[in-house]
């Protein structure tokens, strides 16, 4: 993770440096300092602008929750806005008193 924002505030650099998000063909995992903190499955949505997906957490901090997201993949950067309270994000921002978490990740492997 390169940077993140929640409730209008940036996440500490130490936290972002230790956080990774991994996608396989059907699953995702969030790791902090190498430990899996949340994992589950995901489904890509039909909308193209912005592109969207839904995370379905199976284990970890969001276990049993469904989290709608919008994302943008540009070059080697992945930007995601998570609807952490279940609402679908409309923008890549995390305003004060909002229910969205916005993060930017650097890709370790190129997308095919």
Percent of residues, the chain, with pLDDT higher than 90:
77
The Cα–Cα gap between 101 and 43 comes to 19
| Each residue's pLDDT tens digit, 57-110 | 999 999 999 999 999 999 999 999 999 998 899 899 988 877 899 999 999 876
Report whether pLDDT(112) > 70.
Answer: no
Determine the pLDDT at residue 111. 61
Locate the domains of the chain by residue range.
3-106
Determine the pLDDT at residue 100. 92
């Amino acid at each position: 993770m390169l940077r993140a924002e929640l409730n209008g505030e940036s996440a500490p650099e130490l936290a972002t440096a230790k956080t990774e998000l991994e996608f396989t063909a059907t699953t995702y995992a969030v790791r902090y300092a190498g430990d899996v903190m949340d994992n589950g499955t995901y489904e890509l949505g039909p909308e193209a602008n912005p592109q969207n997906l839904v995370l379905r957490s199976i284990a970890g901090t969001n276990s049993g929750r469904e989290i709608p997201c919008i994302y943008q993949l540009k070059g080697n950067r992945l930007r995601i806005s998570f609807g952490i309270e279940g609402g679908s994000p409309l923008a890549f921002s995390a305003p004060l008193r909002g229910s969205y978490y916005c993060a930017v990740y650097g890709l370790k492997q190129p997308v095919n």
